[in-house]
């Protein structure tokens, strides 16, 4: 069954719920906190994206206050920070709130993004 709501992720579940899962579907991650004004503006957009792109993208949310390990690991300096993972790789990382149209463009690009098979080797593509 496709998820149509943001998936809440923790320090303990991030590897499985985001990195490993991104081999099945791309994952858009919102690093946020309760006290953050711009985060509250992004939250309803994330809800809409989860609903509109159910079965194509997983939308995940990380509460930075409750999950300091992830904040430290990804060097989160400002929230919201939006990241995207595909095929186990971080493919997008940018702090700040964007308009809904920009989020929709990002999600579409994430869905369409092709990760080269031998990208891990670092060899040039033919």
Using DSSP bridges, classify how beta strands 89-95 and 7-8 pair: parallel, antiparallel or unpaired: unpaired
pLDDT of residue 116: 84
Residue 1 Cα to chain centre, angstroms: 20
- On whether the CB atoms of residues 59 and 49 are closer than 8 A, the answer is yes
Catalytic pick among 36, 46, 57, 60: 36
- Express each pLDDT in 9-61 by its tens digit: 999 999 999 999 999 999 999 999 999 999 999 999 999 999 999 999 999 99
> What CATH number is given for 7-111 in this structure?
3.40.30.10
Residue 28 falls in the annotated catalytic set: no
Catalytic pick among 25, 28, 39, 79: 39
In the chain, what are the domain boundaries?
A: 7-111
Residue 94 falls in the annotated catalytic set: no
């Amino acid at each position: 069954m496709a998820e149509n709501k943001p998936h809440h992720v923790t320090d303990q579940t991030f590897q499985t719920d985001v990195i490993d899962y991104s081999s099945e579907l791309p994952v858009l991650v919102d690093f946020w906190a309760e006290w953050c004004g711009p985060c509250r503006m992004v939250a309803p957009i994330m809800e809409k994206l989860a609903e509109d792109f159910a079965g194509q993208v997983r939308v995940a949310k990380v509460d930075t206050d409750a999950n300091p390990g992830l904040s430290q690991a990804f060097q989160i300096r400002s929230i919201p920070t939006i990241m995207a993972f595909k095929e186990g790789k971080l493919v997008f990382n940018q702090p700040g709130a964007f308009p809904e149209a920009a989020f929709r463009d990002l999600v579409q690009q994430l869905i369409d993004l092709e990760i080269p098979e031998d990208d891990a080797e670092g060899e040039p593509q033919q």
